[in-house]
Amino acid sequence: MKHLPKHLQPRWRYLAVELESWPGESIGRRAFQRECWYAAQNLLGDPGSARADMTVIKFECTGKTGEAIVRVRRGETDPARAALSCIDEIDGAPVGISVCGISGTIRAAEEKYLGRREQDSKERNVVFGNEERVAVVQECVADVRLDEAFVGATDLDCDLV
């Protein structure tokens, strides 16, 4: 079909989103898109979800942190932000999610808000609570592996061995 004339094309806003999870969990693009839709439907209902029209445009997840750009209709950014913040799990993996900025173009969203976090993480032995543990260290934050679960810590809590 012939595309719409410019003045009838929808106006979009692009939300730059940062994701975080525990080490060892991997989040897929499709899973994130599905959670976005579910969250929007559960919080905003079908009409609200259709109005916001949340679509994952770009998604990148390496290790425990990820970045995404979510496209929403102009004027619906606040409901979309609310729906995004109600995502607490993706495929059973607990996630932390924050919208770090909103732009009118994908390029501006990327350049202004994304790619600021250091991506590489490595396993180190650390002393946490007087015991030696394995931790996944990234910049100055460390996720320390206890017996079954992880504990989120920073360089103030643990000493590198």
Partner 1 sequence: MYEAVHAHPDGQSTVARFAKTAADYGFEGVVVRNHADSRAEYDADRISEAYGIDVVSGLEIRATNPQEAGGSVGNYRSSKTILALHGGTNALNRFAVENEKLDVLTHPMADRGDVNHVLVKAAVENGVRLEFNLSGVLRKSGGQRVRVIQSLRKLKEIVDYYDAPYVVSADPTSHLELRGPRELQAVGEQLGFSSEFITEGLTEWQRLAERNRRIQSESFIEPGVERGRYEEQR
Binding site for partner 1 (CB under 8 A): 20-22, 42-44, 78-79, 81-82, 84-86, 88, 94-99, 140-141, 149-154, 156-157
Give me the helix-helix angle, 29-52 and 77-85, nearest 10°: 140
- In the complex, the smallest distance separating the C-beta of residue 48 from partner 1, rounded to whole angstroms, is 8
CB of 83 to partner 1, least distance (A): 8
Burial 45-54 (b: 16+ CB within 10 A, else e): eeebbebbeb
Q: What angle do CA 62, 134, 115 make, to 5 degrees?
A: 25
Nearer to partner 1, 1 or 149 (CB): 149
Return the amino acid letter for 109: A
At its nearest, how many Å lie between partner 1 and the CB of residue 39? 9
Q: Which is nearer to partner 1, 88 or 123 (CB)?
A: 88
Residue with tokens 């999870």: 21
Q: Which is nearer to partner 1, 52 or 56 (CB)?
A: 52
User: CB 120 → partner 1: shortest distance, Å?
Assistant: 19
Residue 75 vs 107, nearer CB to partner 1: 75
HSE, CB side, 13 Å, CA atoms: give it for residue 118: 8
DSSP state at residue 54: -
Shortest Cβ distance from residue 34 to partner 1 (Å)?
14
Closer to partner 1 by CB, 22 or 37: give it: 22
Query: What three-state secondary structure class fits 83?
Result: helix
Tell me if 142 sits within 8 A of 158, measured CB to CB. Answer: yes
